[in-house]
Amino acid sequence: MPDVWRHAWLLARKDLLVEFRSRTAILSAVVFTVLVLMVFNFGRDPTAVAAIDLAPSILWVTFTFAAMLALNRAFQLELENQALDGLLLAPVSRSSIYLGKLIANLAFVATVECVGLPLFALFFNVRILPVLAPLLAVLALATVGFVAVGTLFSAMTARTRFAELLLPVLLLPFMIPPLIWAVLATAALLAGRPLSEAAGWLRLLAAFDIVFVTLAFVLFPATVNE
Amino acid sequence: MTLLKTGRWITMVGLALLAAVYVRALAFTPLERFQGPAQKIFYLHVPAAWCAMLAMGLVGIAGILYLLLKDPRVDRFGEASAEVGTAFSMVMLTTGPIWAKPIWGTWWTWDARLTLTLFLFLLFLGYLLLRGAVTDPGLRARYSAVLGICGLVLLPFIHLSVYLFRTLHPQPIVLKASAPSLPGDMLVTLLFSFLVFTILYAGFVMQRYALSLLREQAEQHA
């Protein structure tokens, strides 16, 4: 088992290094996030709807779309020069390839969220500091859930026609349960409701994470084995 | 008798029985006191929903079996079941609003169960789209097996949400912890309809399976 983690970490580091050297994908994702937040700002009538009513949905729709960009990139990267074949020939287990990709994707999405969250608070005048810790927990749990499924699916869609289009079509139905729970939990937190109201949603998010991370971990080898 | 012919016969029998369901539901089942004639659609809507769920469940089980056995027959069955499931979810999603308009006063509402059955339908579409986007048969079978299994695992979460959210949708009345709370006549009609829809499901799947078999043979000849 330690080997799996070591290999996973090596792979994740490779992905992140590639990302860090070029910085195109992460910059595009961040700029995209800012733009989506801006679009939402103009898409509402400030006199009719209070920002706080829309804020949780805006936050989660933005992060969902941003995550989709990151996930599309994950295996596309390996298609150039048949890098994926090289990866599969390397003496590492399939499971560590999945874990490595998952860690890299999580780091990528987390970076985007770290930039997006303060901007969201700024643009929509939402006080996030008093509830920062539970809000971060919601963010983390929901992100793990859909990035876990997304990493599995992007391994499949990368090698199909219309990859960029197919991934959202496959992934969105799976994003909906965690998305609904995350929006409800965020709404409860931002409205200053007691923590216990969000706790139920957090527990559901955690259950979703455990089930789908395990499932994706088990199923991933089937998507890459020749 | 070939599979295609057997499937065709079963479908014929199913369709004849479906006519009997109509007759029984319209003429020999009492009117519901509050909803009146609108309630009659229940005898089609619920069995169609049952078949859609059954289809998704079997697509998932076919996925598990495919990954274990690598048998192309299982994959062909999964494809057939998904396509038939799509058709049944269409029936479910069209009969639902027709009932909801007079009873709820709206065609559609973002109720938990409605939303999530819509996603069941989209899941089927995604499954079929994925199959269409992969050309290599082995790869296609493995990919759709993975997606089918994930879909199967998503279903309990769907059911969980139905109970957790406040919902407009009528709660289950047959498959629940206590005894069915439906008058005898209505229950018989409903169960009869369940049987007929399941027969139709089997008939459709057999024909669809035979069709993919024929297509594969034709491709090998070409």
> pLDDT digits over A80-127, tens only?
777 778 888 888 888 889 999 999 999 999 999 999 999 998 888 888
Mean pLDDT within A185-214: 88
Interface test with A, best of B116, B147, B158, B167 (most A CBs within 10 A): B147
Mean pLDDT within B118-124: 88
Question: Please, are residues A223 and B146 in contact by the beta-carbon 8 Å criterion?
Answer: yes
What is the distance of C-alpha B56 from the center of its chain? 7
Length of chain B, please? 222
Q: Does residue B1 or residue A218 have the better pLDDT?
A: A218
Q: What pLDDT was estimated at residue B9?
A: 94
The CA distance from B82 to the nearest CA of chain A, in Å, is 14
Interface test with B, best of A153, A156, A166, A224 (most B CBs within 10 A): A156
C-alpha span between B188 and B171 (Å, rounded): 19
Q: Where are the alpha helices (DSSP H) in A81-194?
A: 83-89, 94-124, 132-157, 163-190
The band of B161, judged by pLDDT with boundaries at 50, 70 and 90, is: low
Among A35-39, A42-46, B24-28, the minimum mean pLDDT is found in A42-46
Q: What pLDDT was estimated at residue A3?
A: 84
Of A133, A136, A140, A134, the closest CA to residue A199 belongs to A134
Number of neighbours of residue A24 by Cβ within 10 angstroms: 10
Structure tokens at B86: 């799509």
Number of neighbours of residue A36 by Cβ within 10 angstroms: 18
Half-sphere exposure of residue B88, counting CA atoms within 13 Å on the CB side? 30
Q: What is the pLDDT of residues A122-169, one digit of tens each?
A: 888 888 888 888 899 999 999 999 899 999 999 888 888 787 889 999
DSSP B171: P
Residue of A nearest to B150 (CA): A215
State the residue range of the domain holding A210: 2-224
Rg (alpha carbons) of chain B, rounded to whole number: 19
Contact A177 B161 (CB under 8 A): yes
The CA distance from A147 to the nearest CA of chain B, in Å, is 14
Residue entry with tokens 């990139």: A73
Task: Collect all residues of chain A within an 8 Å Cβ-Cβ radius of residue B130.
Answer: 156-157, 160, 166, 170
Percent of chain B past pLDDT 90, that is, above it, reads: 45
C-alpha span between B74 and B59 (Å, rounded): 9
Of B151, B105, B156, B99, the closest CA to residue B125 belongs to B151
C-alpha span between B173 and B180 (Å, rounded): 6
Q: What pLDDT was estimated at residue B120?
A: 85
With 90 as the cut, is the pLDDT of residue A184 above it?
Answer: no
Length of chain A, please? 226
With 80 as the cut, is the pLDDT of residue B184 above it?
Answer: no
Q: Report how far apart, in Å, the C-alpha atoms of A177 and of each of A59, B116, B161, B184, B195 are.
A: 16, 9, 8, 37, 32
C-alpha span between B145 and B61 (Å, rounded): 9
CB pairs under 8 A between A and B: 67
Mean pLDDT within B69-88: 94
Mean pLDDT within B28-33: 76
Q: Which of residues 122-181 of A touch B (CB under 8 A)?
A: 149, 152-153, 156-157, 159-162, 166, 169-170, 172-174, 176-177, 180
C-alpha span between B154 and B148 (Å, rounded): 10
Query: Cβ of B160 under 8 Å from any chain A Cβ?
Result: yes
The band of A23, judged by pLDDT with boundaries at 50, 70 and 90, is: confident
Number of neighbours of residue B12 by Cβ within 10 angstroms: 11
Contact A176 B116 (CB under 8 A): yes
Q: Where are the alpha helices (DSSP H) in B70-136?
A: 72-104, 112-133
* Mean of pLDDT over chain A: 87
H helices, E strands: number in chain A: 8, 0
Q: What pLDDT was estimated at residue B168?
A: 58
The CA distance from A122 to the nearest CA of chain B, in Å, is 31
Residue entry with tokens 């690598």: B70
3-state secondary structure of B32: strand
Mean pLDDT within B36-63: 88
Contact B153 A177 (CB under 8 A): no
With 60 as the cut, is the pLDDT of residue B178 above it?
Answer: no
Query: Cβ of B65 under 8 Å from any chain A Cβ?
Result: no
Task: Collect all residues of chain A within an 8 Å Cβ-Cβ radius of residue B129.
Answer: 166, 169-170
How many domains, in total, are found in chain A?
Answer: 1
Q: What pLDDT was estimated at residue B1?
A: 66
The band of B145, judged by pLDDT with boundaries at 50, 70 and 90, is: very high
The band of B75, judged by pLDDT with boundaries at 50, 70 and 90, is: very high
Question: Please, are residues A80 and A30 in contact by the beta-carbon 8 Å criterion?
Answer: no
Structure tokens at A48: 């009719």
Task: Collect all residues of chain B within an 8 Å Cβ-Cβ radius of residue A174.
Answer: 150, 154
Q: Does residue B29 or residue B51 have the better pLDDT?
A: B51
